[in-house]
Structure 1
Amino acid sequence: MLNDFQIVMLASGSKGNAALISTAKQRFLVDIGISCRALTTRMKEIGVSVNELDGVFITHEHVDHVRGLATFLKNYQVPVYSSVLTWRAILAKDSSLVRQNCRLIDNNRLLCGDLEVQSFSIPHDAVDPHGYTFTSRSNGSKCTYLTDAGFVTDTIREAVAGSSALVLEANHDVEMLKNGPYPRHLKQRILSTLGHLSNDTAGHFLTELERLPEHIVLAHLSEHNNLPQLAQDTVQNILQDNNRLQETELFVAAQNRVVADSPLPAVLDLK
């Protein structure tokens, strides 16, 4: 399986999300859920300038995915893409948003250089939430970004199938959530079909795939209802029990530090 992508998680969790998806010639962000200052600082840590970005893709309008967007649009000329309904939801919250670099994904498909980017609907309590696939037009290598999903739909299965790299939500441990400090209504929201994927759900979903991605990054971990080692162990154990662990390499994203699925010098040598 070909994997031409590098994933660098600049931030991932309930307090903010931003991921850098790179190939040898292109760089894209998924979400700007941290401040623009934090974003630029973390990108500088890996030797990448914001001005090198070819685009930004927004999954949905929740603040942990768009916190730095308004400042970003004021300061940079990088195109920012989302669905029309998501843009409307974002603008409804901040009508002063600078709009000249806002772009719509027409018919859920966009050609960006050598990549075809496709959005796919996900079940979450936002207006029009989407995940994204980035597919090389030259060799078919595919990277998929999937977080903030209440359950795994057939649309999600189709989008993830054949991916060589995958960002996959492993938001919570069910028992930690049930016994944790959240109020009952919030626990019900997270566990609902419009909430978030658990560690167990993420692991069992992976066993359904005919081929596992070479690299899988577990993402959007809850600060209060999960632990990085627990998420990794749970998914690893499920894969091991199904004799699938040897097919992939697992990484766990973090809220306050950069996590890459391959050595960072690979990013520095891209251009």
Structure 2
Amino acid sequence: MEVHVLASGSSGNATYLQLGQARILVDAGISTRRIQQSLIKLGTSIAELDGILITHEHRDHIYGLETLMKKFHVPVYATAKTWDAMYLKARLPDNYCVELKPSFTVQDVCIEPFRISHDAADPVGYSIYGENMKCSMATDLGFVTEGVKQALALSDVLVLESNHDVKMLENGSYPWYLKKRILSNRGHLSNLDAGWLLTRLERKNHTHVFLAHMSKENNTPEVAKSTVCEVLQSQKLTDEFSIHLTYPDCISSLSAG
């Protein structure tokens, strides 16, 4: 399994996975040119993708989708409500817009979307299975339900939101309505909540975790990692996880298995 977080944060999100024979992009929230340049660095290209999975319709997850779909014939998967809510849906080629099923295959991998709590039309995370391995993705996650815990359980690799430090957010320059949104059950997951979620998951002997979708204003990679690691250390679980950081402007990569 290869996992490459091409970009992560409020300015744009995209993650490339190669698992078995499948080459999959999750979200296209940066420009098509940047996606293509990043994939070429990794030895592939958009034309070689087998599918693109969309988590929800917010701009930082679909910004590059229009140009990408017009230039490349790649199927794109999203829920019906997400398609309907996309600001650019009318400009997309219908024959490559695929409605998500509860479970489906792309090449030799199985993909299972799962519901998440966020202020979008019908947001989802993804669990992706292949080669006896599991990669799960859950960002833009306001609240962790039992369904989310079950979906993330026993992942080999987990791309997990660690959006903000609560004190930095509370003391920062954001207007109150935006702070309230971020802190709500349909907002974003804090560093502290991300750490405690990891301690409560059913897990394998070792899990690789990418801390993702970090706020530029209310977090730093160093603060996120420190907070999560402090929680893991408090529960004597440090050795069971490898923590990886993600960035808005460079690729974070992992080869596992």
**Interval containing the TM-score (normalised by the shorter chain):** over 0.9
Alignment pair present for 1:117 and 2:111:
yes
Paired residues of 1:147 and 1:219 also in contact (CA < 8 A): yes
Partner of 1:72: 68
Matches within 5 A, 1:116-195: 116-136=110-130, 139=132, 141-195=133-187
Paired residues of 2:66 and 2:88 also in contact (CA < 8 A): no
3-state SS of 2:135 partner: strand
Structural RMSD (CA): 1.5
Q: TM-score w.r.t. structure 2 length? A: 0.96
Q: Gaps (5+ residues) in structure 1?
A: 267-271
Paired residues of 1:73 and 1:99 also in contact (CA < 8 A): no
Partner of 2:40: 44
Alignment pair present for 1:258 and 2:254:
no
Alignment pair present for 1:85 and 2:81:
yes
Deviation at 1:94, TM superposition (A): 4.1
Q: Distance in 1 between matches of 2:175 and 2:211?
A: 25
Q: Following superposition, which runs of at least 4 residues in structure 1 exceed 4 angstroms of deviation?
A: none
Q: Distance in 2 between matches of 1:44 and 1:113?
A: 21
3-state SS of 1:95 partner: helix
Equivalent residue in structure 2 for 1:243, among 236, 239, 242: 236
Q: Distance in 2 between matches of 1:193 and 1:214?
A: 26
Partner of 2:93: 98
Alignment pair present for 1:31 and 2:24:
no
Matches within 5 A, 1:207-222: 207-211=199-203, 214-222=207-215
Q: Gaps (5+ residues) in structure 2?
A: none
Q: Distance in 2 between matches of 1:193 and 1:18?
A: 24
Paired residues of 1:217 and 1:261 also in contact (CA < 8 A): no
What percent identity do the matched residue pairs reach? Answer: 43
Q: Distance in 2 between matches of 1:206 and 1:96?
A: 40
Alignment pair present for 1:8 and 2:4:
yes
Q: How many aligned positions are there?
A: 256
